[in-house]
Amino acid sequence: MSIKTNLAIIKARVARAAERVGRDPKQVKLLVAGKYADVGQLEELIRAGQRLIGENRAQDLVKKYAVIGDQAEWHFIGHLQRNKVKDVVPLVTMLHSLDSLRLADELERQLKKINKVLPVLIEVNVAGEVTKSGISLQELDELVKHCHYLPHLKLKGLMTMNQHHFHTLRQLAKSYNLPELSMGTSQDFEVAIEEGATMIRLGRIVFLNPIV
């Protein structure tokens, strides 16, 4: 099966999941994680009408952007080291993984240099697992408030990786009046949609042959 066919199957599943809970499927954006794809596959993806692509690593983003450029809309979805911020922020239209005050300050510093306002999502580590990225629940409120003082960051929502925390994230986003929820991957995107995801991040499933 082609990537175009896979996308059609995925979009049908997205629509069914949304309709099960009375949501409009258009409320859910499909982001394809580029870490499973080479440049040729991403170009095929774009030809199939899928422009929203997320990268996990700064060096991969820079390399792929050099070839594809603005044919795609790039989001950064992985853990971002502060020393890579200057490489990433000129290329992306959203960051999904803000997880500390220090990263927020470095983003503000680099964005100010290029006079750019960047929409961001805070990655939340709901369970406080030390091996996982994301800010703890105890520190979340401080980071949300801090973002309001940084004119080049536009806080739009929250992100999480863990299926067990989708409902909690939805409640948190509602409490802060944040519109965007980035949650759900190839294994659990339908559950995420039912819990209110506005963006799902799919990787391998897009490129499988055949899709499962």
Per-residue pLDDT of 110-154, as tens digits, reads 999 999 999 999 999 988 777 678 999 999 999 999 999 999 999
Does 211 score more than 90 pLDDT?
no
The pTM score is 0.95
Q: In CATH, what number does 3-207 get?
A: 3.20.20.10
Per-residue pLDDT of 45-79, as tens digits, reads 999 999 999 999 999 999 999 999 999 999 999 99
Contact (CB, 8 A) for 190 and 204: no
Contact (CB, 8 A) for 133 and 123: yes
Task: Please report, for the chain, the start and end positions of each structural domain, with discontinuous segments joined by +.
Answer: 3-207
